[in-house]
Amino acid sequence: MEKQEYLDLYYQMVMIRLLEEQAAQLYQQGKIGGFLHLYIGQEAVSTGLISVREPRDRVITAYRDHGVAINCGIPATEVMAELLGKATGCSQGKGGSMHMADVKKNFWGGHAIVGAHLPIASGLALGDKYAGNDNVTICMFGDGATNIGYFHEALNLSKVWNLRVLWVCENNQYGMGTAVERASAVSEIRQKAEGYCIPNSRVDGMDILAVRQAASQAFEFIRKESTPYFLEIMTYRYRGHSMGDPERYRASEEVRKWQENDAIGIYARHLLDDKIASQEELDQLDALVEAEVAEAVRFAEESPEPAPEALYEHIYVDQQFGIIT
């Protein structure tokens, strides 16, 4: 890996963290509405995973999607504008925090019904199979999604039809406030893939290089064998499930313990210890991200609201169906 690549991974993780810290503040100021699910703590999962995909590989995820959006190449300005519901947002202000996408960057959203995007991921992979290419569809979801029927229908279909899907369970230990052991018959989630004869492995999601390596191997396997693969990535979210979560279900000591092994901190130490980057270079990147987040906030705040006409746009592709008032 070239030095610039190493630095870019650091840059992306710091970008997700600072952008979301800023978003949390804007939420508290009432500038962001609805739900806001922060990815803070889990940055290495999406950053590592998506850094080794080819641009032709599709990405689809759940509602904790800001980080994935950044990793897929959506500019911070457009992510922030979407959070503020502005016309310049990646979904032009009609999706919000949970529904970000940029099809041109092969990022297929941002889906807010737990587990519902898994069958859609199978369909995306079916489309690629039908077209005869070896593109991979990367489908990310939380541990909570593995208890709903859609998960099982989608995994089964992907194996029966030999679809090129990389199923990625981000196991952050809690489905909302319910610990994995309290909701799932097996707490080692990857075992669920065994039931569908889908090869699988488990990796430390606080180590971005381990995530990259596991994902690279998975991509290679999927492309070669034309079959799905299941990756369980162990991670932890530092913030609540969403803003306003009282967090009665876990001790602050537990959170602190995970934060001591913070993915960005571990990675920074690795870059310094192996003399890949100097502290000065990392400081410069931190400052760059800070400036870009500030610019994203300025851009979002100064952007226009969607025009009133947008209310009736994009209900149907076919204009002859008109507007029903």
Partner 1 sequence: MARITMREAISQALWEEMERDPSVFILGEEVGVWGGTYAVTKGFYDHFGPDRVRDTPIAEAAIIGATIGAALTGLRPVAELMTINFAFSAMDHIVNEAAKLHYMFSGQFVMPMVIRAVGGGGRQLGATHSQTPDAVFAHFPGLVVVAPGTPEDAKGMLKSAIRSSDPVLFIEHATLYQVRGEVPEGDNLVPLGKSKIQRPGSDVTIITYSKMLEISTKAADQLAKEGIEAEIVDLRSLRPLDMDPVIASFKKTNRAVVVEEGWRSYGVGSEVVARIYEQAFDYVDTPVRRVAQKEVPLPYNRNLEQMALPQVDDVIRAVKEVL
CB of 108 to partner 1, least distance (A): 7
Nearest CB to partner 1, comparing residues 50 and 101: 101
CB of 203 to partner 1, least distance (A): 26
Nearest CB to partner 1, comparing residues 132 and 246: 132
Nearest CB to partner 1, comparing residues 92 and 235: 92
CB of 125 to partner 1, least distance (A): 7
User: Which 3-state string (H, E, C) describes 79-101?
Assistant: HHHHHCCCCCCCCCCCCCCCCCC
What is the Cα–Cα distance from 260 to 311, expressed in whole angstroms? Answer: 46
Tokens, residue 203: 């990796």
Nearest CB to partner 1, comparing residues 6 and 63: 63
What is the Cα–Cα distance from 239 to 27, expressed in whole angstroms? Answer: 14
Q: With beta carbons less than 8 A apart as the criterion, state whether 259 and 43 touch.
A: no
Nearest CB to partner 1, comparing residues 9 and 136: 136
Tokens, residue 102: 């940029």
CB of 98 to partner 1, least distance (A): 9
What is the Cα–Cα distance from 215 to 7, expressed in whole angstroms? Answer: 19
Q: With beta carbons less than 8 A apart as the criterion, state whether 138 and 105 touch.
A: no
CB of 251 to partner 1, least distance (A): 35
Sign of CA dihedral 98, 102, 103, 106: negative
Amino acid (1-letter code) at residue 295: E
SS3 label, residue 38: coil
Q: With beta carbons less than 8 A apart as the criterion, state whether 79 and 90 touch.
A: yes
Interacting residues with partner 1 (CB under 8 A): 91-95, 99, 101-103, 108-111, 113, 116-128, 130-131, 149-150, 153-154, 156-157, 160-161, 310, 313-318, 320-322, 324
Nearest CB to partner 1, comparing residues 128 and 207: 128
CB of 65 to partner 1, least distance (A): 12
